[in-house]
Structure 1
Amino acid sequence: MVGSTFLIVVIFSEICIRMKTMALAPERLTGMNPCISKQTCHECIQTPHCAWCAAPNFNEKRCFLPNINTKIFATCPEEYTWNPDNVFSMVRHRNLTKGGYIATSGNNSGSLSSSLPTSESSSWSTSSFSSAGRQEAIQIWPQEVNLKLRINEAHRMSFSYSQAEDYPVDLYYLMDLSKSMEDDKQKLSDLGQLLVESMSKITSNFRLGFGSFVDKVVMPYVNTMPKSLIEPCDGCAAPYGYKNVMRLSTDTSAFASLVSNASVSGNLDAPEGGFDAIMQAIVCRREIGWREKARRLLVFSTDAGFHYAGDGKLGGIIRPNDGICHLDHTGLYTHSSEQDYPSISQINLKVKQNAINIIWAVTEEQISVYKRLTKHVEGSFAGKLSNDSSNIVELIREQYDKISSSVEMKDTASSAIKVRYLSNCLNDGPPVETSKCDGLKVGTKVEFIAEIEVTSCPDNRTEWKQKFDIYPVGINETLTVNLEMLCDCECEHDGSMYEPNSPECNGVGTLKCGVCECYDGFFGKRCECSPHQEITGFDKNFLSCRPDNTSLVDCSGRGTCACGQCECEERENSEEVSAFHYSI
């Protein structure tokens, strides 16, 4: 008796499990096949790997997986099948070149010869600059590509970086000339020629510039008593915010004398107005003399901290920093007392936009603060300055070696685009996820892979075409990506498969890609339904074709909803019957 009871319980349990499995099977199927629930062409192609059939009077599921739903794929005519692929093409792809000098002839001695292959250009003589022309360095390949992408279908694109030889260097020395830096100024003047010689070993195309800063000439930063505004300390010059003393120039011999003749000044509080100076030194490109194709170094030398956005309120200055150049004909910053200090994020933005590497050359008391700052200012490095700046040449050379032996890739993609970087750098083996490679030398080529994915279609249709740059930090060269997002279908717009007031839709809807888009107040496969008075609206009719409000699929994925009722699909095998009957 016990055995019989046990057998009955087992059989009943098996029946319940099977019924539950059958009830959940359609929902589980739609989870495996995400195409089934898509009702429009644009919803369909925004789902990875799904294709849409726009054929008229098509009785099968219109959104399907071509590799799985082979019957639908075979039934839908090719001209009505919408299944766009990701499309990649290169627009500009000039070969990588090492740069440097190459021989020229005739009247073209000053022209560039960047079209020569790298192997050929390296064999040309560089002994006589008078009979040579500078070859443009190309360090990233390709330079511009076009890309059409479906949503959530990533595309992998290869690109290369190679550090050029004899690459031009612009070095702008920005120095704190408050009273405490007086001995540092003299040491920099003494070491000026040594700095030039050291940088000349790195590149034959070197330019040097110099600027100085103190702080805003208002209380509480500077003593505004009339006497103090003339001479804030013994032997000091009148206080000022920032001044461009020497624009970038090949006349490096003038550097030492200009530094030596620059006067120190004085202020009251400990932090200085260095951020004002950095902002002006970056954005005043013409006044400073920054070149388009050069490694741009800004050496920031100080023994103090810095004021940043918000500190200006202490002096009654509430206007935010506008990030615009405000230098007069003498190189003096004219808006020092009119607008606030820049924020760290503003400095970082301008550094990125202008491809500048900042070297924070600061004393031991400040090194920890500026090392933390390097995490917030892209491509910046911090080095410890001796008390009298006697190690400045070694520090700059050491930091330059760190900068030039490393490459880090960044991009300007919007929030709708995800870019992931992979590379094996200089190692053997498969690529790993990284955007940075170290230990590079001149001529070393590094291969990167950018995996680009559109995560969502922006609501604004004009944003379906975007342009963004992939760039090596601190180098003014980019790989431009012209991206077109495949967010909808051509047949959803004016054309042969677009028909307003279509008879197929009973004249109250637009036929798009083979399906009806009903006007307000109508619904159904052919817009044949309208809500009855006792029914509150479309949603109730729509949900009546679903087992509960958590389901996203009409008729369990085995039929279509018509005026609030399921029209079930016929079985492929008409003789097949269900072993169990259940109701939802």
Structure 2
Amino acid sequence: MNPKLFLHLSGFGSFVDKELLPYVSQVKARRQNPCPNRIDICQPAFSFKNVLPLTHDAKEFEREVSKQNISGNLDAPEAGLDAIMQAAVCKNEIKWGDVTRILVYTSDDTFHMAGDGRLGGVFRPHNGQCHLNVNGSYDGRAYDYPSVGHVSRVLQDNNIQLIFAVTEDIYPAYKALSALIPQSVVGVLKNDSSNVVDLISEAYGNLSSTLVLEQEGAPKELDVSYWSTCKGNQADIEWKEKGECQGIKHEKITFKVRLNASACLKKPQTFRIKMQGINEEVKITVNTECHCECGAPEAASKHCNGSGTLSCGVCSCNEGYLGQHCECVQQSDADSITSMLASCRPDNTSQVCSGHGACVCGKCVCRDMLKGEFCQCDDNSCELHDGFLCNGKGNCQCGKCECVQNYTGSACECSPSQDKCMNDKGLCSGQGKCTCNRCQCKEGFTGEHCSAFINACTLLKDCVACHVEAGTPETNACAVRCLNASVSRLEGYHELHCTYEDTISYDVELGVNGTIVLRYADLPRSVDKTTLVIGISVSSIIFIGIIIIIIYRCLLELYDIREYQNFVKAQKQTEWKEVQNPLFQGATTTVYNPLHETEANEKEHSE
């Protein structure tokens, strides 16, 4: 990494989303800890927070970053544009200096745009002002999300270059966003962020290798165009609306600016020409002279080769002569200034002599080292390599290198040697081609020698599907989908690196000769965890119920046995005594005989 990128000044900020529904949950528990898993601890959501202003202390930067906890919101998009806006306009709070300003934006999801705030009841457009409080936080509930155009203009006004470091699945969205923001690039960030240093270094290199010159505030009467001499002194063929050079390293770049007035200016007008991403500009004040006071016309002027009259600096040629200085002899009535100029253009849309020469009597007179019928060729405009034109291994012909000795490349920089493309699996592992002694890998492969898969499981997923449908690895119908891989099916059940529809597992690797080797097998049958848990729970409840019933019955039986034993014991201890109960009298029966009543009475008296 370029050490100037971080060791000079570094700062850190973070963002989540607006603290409103439907972006952030308003349930108190979820506000305090928005993590989906209650075991994890997350900090409450916020719109944007300036955690650490720009500082020279790299250790402090490292400490602040390491102390941060994750947060969360309800929907997928985030308040990324809110964060960019505050980071750009809050100059004093961020402590932006008069240096090259780089803003690195990292995220694993998309962003909210202007108009999305209406879902949360926020209708007021963003005013482009700094709204950080004393704690360095931006509330975000008063203003809608800023538009992409608004963010782009603010970044340009503050000379901030933007680097998007995002994950692969959202790369297309940020690639489209970067196309709308000048001086911005996008890089793919790994899920574990292990490549963030290399990514930022490469992205900054891409930013610094592109120079764009443009004007601001030019009056409508002025047409401003640019002519650029870029890498290897390669000049533009025609004037353009912007001066732009790409792939710049240590070359000297030249820009020429041309102003064409389509009408007279009522008063002097001032506009700026500046380089994108650089806080320097050139102010140009333009005044037009539309009324010239000319002297008396000069007949047979030397300026007109004695064949015309000079008036106000312009030659009026005599009959039979043409040209700016009347230097051309008219051969026929069809000859005219227009026809001569047309013969100096390759087509009607291009400039006369490609803008690199003058049209003299219908032929181009080229400037400097340019040549060709229309001055379109410059034998010194080819690319340089190691300080030599065409690397000293070719000839410059009309701006292009014609290489010799089997050298290739736009600057003949590529040696015919292929030693750096070789490994034990052959040339680029059989999965790429060797260009300029470097491997250019096929889709799906990476590494210095194309020996590693970008995603082996995804690469041959269709191949596995084809063979599973066919039911056999020995089929030619799947050769194209399998990239001509060597396919074999393993006996039994195996759990390999990749899976297909939870029934097949497979593994992909490169063979010794660079061929792709695919092995697949049936996955071991797994038990449905939900069914297993429910079954175990129900069985446990039934088993525990049966155990409780058995224990209850055993305790009840023991209680009955103990009561019966007590009864028997009480029976044995009872003593029965045979005595006459005074309260009980037996029944008395008296019989009369009326015939012996006298006798009975006598007996009674006698007694």
- So what's the TM-score if we normalise by structure 2? 0.45
Task: Tell which has more relative contact order, 1 or 2 (C-alpha 8 A, sep 6+).
Answer: 1
- So what's the TM-score if we normalise by structure 1? 0.47
- Higher Cα Rg, which structure: 2
